[in-house]
Amino acid sequence: MNFLEDEVAKYERRVKRIKENPDPHKLKSNLLLYEMWLDFRKRQLKDWKEGVPFAYLSGGGVQPELFRAMGFQVLHLPMTADRAGSNAPRYFEIARQRGYPDNTCDRIQVEMGLAFSGEWPPPSFVTCFSGECLPITYGSYWIAEHFKCATYAMDFPIEDRGDDGFQYLLKQFRELVSVAETVPGIKFDEAKLGEYQRKIEANHSLQMEIYELKKQVPCPISGKDALRMAGRELLDDPRYIEYYELIRKEMRDKIERGIGALPEEKARVMWVVSAPFYADPFSFLESRGVAVPVYDAGMASGERREYVPPDDEKRHGRRLSPLEYMAFTAAEGTQGRTPGPKAERILKNCRELHLDGVIYFMLSGCMPEIGCGRIVADRLEEELGIPTLLIDGYCLDSAKYNQTDFESKLDAFVSVLLARKGIPA
């Protein structure tokens, strides 16, 4: 069974399980999310069999909708690798045997192992995006070298430099499109990209409403659900918007009935960077009375709070074309850049959601995030008097995880939070 077939089987099991025995603490909309992923994986398998060209993507600045608008099927490398689950060690082994660093981000190790394993459809195009982190950049560069396919390296400026940065990225997006169009059967349809962007805009409004609902105490969403995201790979699914509408409805219902994700909310924290996907630290925190309403980059995280639509004439001076708008949103991104904008966003989340602390997952090998950790913690303490737990870990390498040790650190942090609030543990 290849990776995509595994995924299909996994989502079929999950859908069946939820239908037969739903967990009352989890969102009902999860069923819809799993059904969407199931259909997407089936579609990928079908496209693979039919010879549809695949584009491998990485990094947040080059989004799936651009490639879908060119006629590619897409595979987002790290986001897909995140779903390797218990198969991850197999892919680590493949990457490490080839000599790749075993102390780098484990998501990238799995991604590379998967790409070389033959369990993913081979790419016709690979994009290397230098903006998020170098393991992501080098991982895709290596994969492009391995498959000797069409590729484009997108160079990303360090800071948001306004119009200069936008123009630089726009020129590169145009080059990327011309390189991609050398792949047989590929033709960029800008109107289609515009359609996707309108869908994203509608979704953004819903996300902001969901974000507002997270301010309620008790929090109407569990930590694990806050971490979930329906990736932009799912944009083609007609239920994409419906999924977020359903979440909003569920949260509203819970608020009306005074039901929270945990029976007695004593404190609330933000979870930052990433998480150990093989463990459930959120349920552990909830068992101690700590809610996690918001995750750094997940659903309604507030990451894109200052949404500027393409027709904002005040900002752009005119309506941007879809490709221009793609460059604009990429230029505005904060991931992997200097910690200032990231810290500002976390501070804002903490103020607006009345958070008591931040848990910063120091993902081993993720240099931009590790390098920011202490800086963010200093600022939270100095500006808001909020403590931060910097906790080391891996997303996928469960062999390096010690549950007792990890939970002891969380527990000690919870004690600090509660003591600061004068609440008995």
Residue 400 is a binding residue for another protein (CB under 8 A)? no
Residue 399 in the binding site for another protein (CB under 8 A): no
State the DSSP H helix or E strand holding residue 13, giving kind and residue range, or none if neither: helix 3-20
**362 strand-pairing partners:** 392
Out of 27, 66, 84, 372, the only residue in the binding site for another protein (CB under 8 A) is: 372
Which of the stretches 274-282, 316-324, 374-382, 403-411 binds another protein when contact is defined by CB under 8 A?
374-382
Interface residue with another protein, options 321, 364, 398, 403 (CB under 8 A): 364
Q: How far is the CB of 153 from another protein (least distance, A)?
A: 5
In the 8-state DSSP scheme, what is residue 69? T
Q: CB of 414: closest distance to another protein in angstroms?
A: 23
- Which SS3 state, helix, strand or coil, does residue 278 take? coil
Shortest Cβ distance from residue 25 to another protein (Å)? 35
User: Is residue 212 a contact partner of residue 294, using CB atoms and an 8 Å limit?
Assistant: no
Q: Give 328-331's long-range contacts (Cβ < 8 A, gap of 24+).
A: 328/166, 329/63, 330/61, 330/62, 330/131, 330/156, 330/169, 330/173, 331/157, 331/160, 331/161, 331/162, 331/165, 331/166, 331/169
- The region of 40-48, 71-79, 235-243, 370-378 touching another protein under the rule CB under 8 A is 370-378
Q: Is 338 in the site for another protein (CB under 8 A)?
A: yes
State which residue, 200 or 390, has the beta carbon closest to another protein: 390
DSSP class of 124: S
145 sits near another protein (criterion: CB under 8 A): yes
Half-sphere exposure of 286 (CA within 13 A, CB side): 21
Stretch 149-168: interaction string toward another protein, x if CB under 8 A: ----x-x-xxx----x---x
104 binds another protein, rule: CB under 8 A = yes
Paired tokens of 372: 């920011």
The answer to whether residue 179 forms part of the interface with another protein (CB under 8 A) is no
344 binds another protein (CB under 8 A): no
Give the nearer residue to another protein in terms of CB position, either 48 or 168. 168
Among 315, 340, 412, 423, binds another protein (CB under 8 A): 340
Cis status, amide bond into 218, omega within 30 of 0 = yes
Site string for another protein, 111-130 (x = CB under 8 A): -----------------x-x
CB of 117 to another protein, least distance (A): 16
> What stretches of 62-179 adopt beta strand conformation (E)?
73-76, 125-129, 150-154
Q: Tokens 């075993």 sit at which residue?
A: 102
State which of positions 197-256 bind another protein (CB under 8 A): none
- Strand segments, DSSP code E, in 16-100 are 54-57, 73-76
- Structure tokens, 345: 């966003």
Whose tokens are 């202490």? That residue is 374
Minimum distance between the CB of residue 366 and another protein, rounded to whole angstroms? 8
- Taking CA 209 as the corner, what is the angle to CA 26 and CA 299, rounded to the nearest 5 degrees? 50
Quote the least distance from Cβ 172 to another protein, whole Å.
Answer: 6
- Residues numbered 79 to 98 that lie near another protein (CB under 8 A) are 98
CB of 402 to another protein, least distance (A): 16
- 316/167 Cα distance (integer angstroms): 12
The least distance separating another protein from the CB of residue 42, rounded to whole angstroms, comes to 34
150-154 vs 125-129, strand pairing mode: parallel
Query: Contact with another protein (CB under 8 A): which of 302, 339, 357, 393?
Result: 339
Question: With CB under 8 A, what is the number of residues at the site for another protein?
Answer: 43
Nearest-angstrom CA–CA distance, 280 and 285: 9
33 in contact with another protein (CB under 8 A): no
E strand segments, 184-285: 267-272
CB nearer to another protein: pick between 157 and 309: 157
Angle at 324 between CA 323 and CA 326, to 5 degrees: 65
392 binds another protein (CB under 8 A): yes
Closest CB 373 distance from another protein, rounded Å: 8
**Residues making contact with another protein (CB under 8 A):** 98-101, 103-104, 128, 130, 133-135, 137-139, 141-142, 145, 153, 155, 157-159, 164, 168, 171-172, 175, 336, 338-340, 362, 364-365, 367-368, 370-372, 374-375, 378, 392
